[in-house]
Amino acid sequence: DRDRGILILEVKGGVISRDPSMGGWASVNRHGKIFGIKDPFRQAVGSKHTLKRLLDNAPATRPFALRYRLQHAVAFPDVLAEGVHLGVEADPSIVLDKASMNDLQGAVERALGEPPEGYRINKEAFGALKELLVPRVSLPLPGLLGDLVETQGEYVRLTKDQHRYLDLLSMQPRAKIAGPAGSGKTFLAIEKARRLVHMGQRVLFTCFNRALADWVREELRRSLGPIENAPFVHNYHDMAELYCKDAGVRLPDPEIMSYEEKGSYYNELLPEAFLTVVASLHEAQRFDAIIADEGQDFDQDWWIHVESLLRDPAQGTFYIFYDDNQRLWDRGLHLPIGGSPYLLSENLRNTRTIHKVAMRYHSDATQVSARGPRGREPRILPVEADSLKSSLVKTISDLVSSGKGRQFSPEQIVVLTPRSQKNSVFQDGEPVGGALRLSWRDASPGMVRIRNVYAFKGLEAPIVILVEPEHARAALQNQILYVALSRATYHLIVLGKLAPPGVKASASEGVRVVAGLHHADAHPQA
């Protein structure tokens, strides 16, 4: 009633009774069955407060929040309540019963009471209220976003199916497990760490990329909850710095170093300091088990430091997961675990169409099959440098537009480039259509992430837009493009000229298949 306000009405049908000794309120239906019900007056007050918060905070109604007069009432349409004392909270004016149904308008006006003189909800405030309570909406056909939801559900099922491989290796205290992008290496590594924690072991999970370590840490924290023996999760260099600082070793600040000085710091100075510290660690600082992901990016000498962190280097659990095709640094592959690696041969993360494009840059595409859904065809647009920025704006605008069920959120999109932030034509905060901007940092609402391929290795996004692909370093072109293209789980767009695959090294030989898990006599060479 625009002249009196808004009435929040809690309705309870059936024969109503209230007996605190029996647990409160109850209703008897027409079949004689008794149901316990919540306190209707408390519910009415709670609903009123909820609506008040909505009116205060919703953008449409916030300007008119003081214009909305709210009252509550309770209706018992199947019984007579006149003259019955229902409790101090049940003023007769706010109780509607069967008799009230004969003059419902009068009963509602009585419950609303007399408003202040001159009170009225104006037209704009009333329109905003209707839009909040009964919004006009049209649910589109699923379109691309619906396909994405279905695709993600299939990936979850396939990834959980991979856990059986850990069962096969449960009696192996040491193992090196190789697999292409999308084969579930990181998820298997996380699951192995989780199982070891549940066994009461102190676990170290390490990798090369800081962003991957941050993601794994949160994933394990979410799945394990607050536990006493939480796994220690850090990438190699952060771990080395933490141990050195705890030991009182003074380290220079790499943030103020030149590019060449940083290389010397991370490749020589820090590892050497870490090795000295590791030698003097006491038992409580070491681990029962170590899980290492991105093993292809570790320098040979680093493994000495990592393995030394085991309480029992001979018998402790040590698993290394790696993909030599994702080796983006000029280091050879020297793993400290002997024997043949176990090979994961199935891509579970990418659609088959994305897999097909990425595998052009793999050392041996014949060894890997894709189990995911077919998916959309990747869009490869060889745009010129002078139209690259406008092409990115149009591409992102098309993805986030709301027409024809095609709306994606900016958080589902990542822009990848083989160039650094310093050398890329795309800078932090650069507008990419409407209010959207690019962010090289942690993305906030209204921002689309842009990342260097190196920094995003090990991570994924539903939609990847690869820009500046022609700037991939020639010596590692295959690996860089393979990593970049395989980050997309649902849709891949390339803006620029994709170079043809370079010369591929020979594939591994002597592979024996065990339910999709291969055990090879030699690791694949990139």
Residue 30, pLDDT score: 84
Candidate ranges 19-23, 466-470, 522-526; pick with highest mean pLDDT: 466-470
Strand runs (DSSP E) across 152-248, as ranges? Answer: 174-178, 203-207, 232-235
Report whether 166 contacts 191 (CB < 8 A). yes
Taken in order of first residue, the domains within the chain and their CATH numbers are 6-133 (no CATH), 144-349+513-519 (3.40.50.300), 370-495 (3.40.50.300)
Would you state the torsion angle of the CA atoms of residues 187, 190, 195, 198, taken in this order, to the nearest 10 degrees? -140
pLDDT at 47: 96
**Residue 330 pLDDT > 80:** no
Query: What pLDDT shows up at residue 444?
Result: 80
Report the distance separating Cα 1 and Cα 444, nearest Å: 42
* φ, ψ (nearest 5 deg) of residue 138: -125, 120
Q: Is 287:311 a contact under the CB 8 Å cutoff?
A: yes
**CB 452 within 8 Å of CB 419:** yes
User: How would residue 347 be classed by pLDDT, with cut points 50, 70 and 90?
Assistant: confident
CA separation for the pair 267, 257 (Å, rounded) = 14
DSSP E strands, 145-261: 174-178, 203-207, 232-235
The 10s digit of each residue's pLDDT in 177-223 is 999 888 889 989 999 999 999 999 999 999 999 999 999 999 999 99
Tell me: pLDDT of 76 over 60.
Answer: yes
- By CB atoms closer than 10 A (0-12, 13-18, 19+), residue 279 is exposed
Distance CA 334, CA 353 (A): 33
Over the stretch 306-319, which tens digit does the pLDDT of each residue have?
Answer: 999 999 988 999 99
Question: What one-character-per-residue DSSP string does 321-344 give?
Answer: EE-GGG--SS-----SS-SPPEEE
